[in-house]
Structure 1
């Protein structure tokens, strides 16, 4: 079910970017540090930025699979439980 939700969300994002790119045909030059690009349509720049962002997130989750928020939260909750057990006086 989660896979289907992720797929639907990805398709919606792709459609949104495609519509945005199709409606923004104004040419612009991108300046980054000391570099300048040739004139590119704004829609292409937006599409490239979104694509690079998705690629970066995908590679990050592939290279570091254990670094998710839920895993870290569970580990911290377990550590808090251990510390609370140590602080309780013996009965």
Structure 2
């Protein structure tokens, strides 16, 4: 079920990027330090920026799998249960 949700979310994001790219055909130049690109459509630049962001996030989650929010939440819940057991009075 989780895989299906991720697939649908990815398809919606891809569709949104495609629509955004199609509706922004204005040519722009990117300049970074001494480097300057040729004129590219604004939609393509935005799509590349989104793609690089997703790639960076994906690589980050592969390189540091222990940093996921669900793992941290699970660890915090276990710690909370331990502390609650310690606070209970003895019979």
Q: Report the TM-score when normalising by structure 2.
A: 0.80
**In the TM superposition, what is the alpha-carbon distance from 1:68 to its structure 2 partner?**
1.4
TM-score, normalisation: structure 1: 0.80
Q: Secondary structure at the match of 2:65?
A: coil
Query: How many residue pairs are counted as aligned between the two chains?
Result: 90
Alpha-carbon displacement from aligned partner over 1:16-49 (angstroms, at most 9, x marks no partner): 11121111111122344x3453222101110111
The list of structure 1 runs, each at least 4 consecutive aligned residues, that deviate by more than 4 angstroms after superposition, is: none
1:77: how far off?
A: 1.5
Structure 1 unaligned spans of 5+:
none
Q: What value does the CA root-mean-square deviation take over the aligned residues?
A: 1.8
Matches within 5 A, 1:3-42: 3-32=3-32, 34-38=33-37, 39-42=39-42
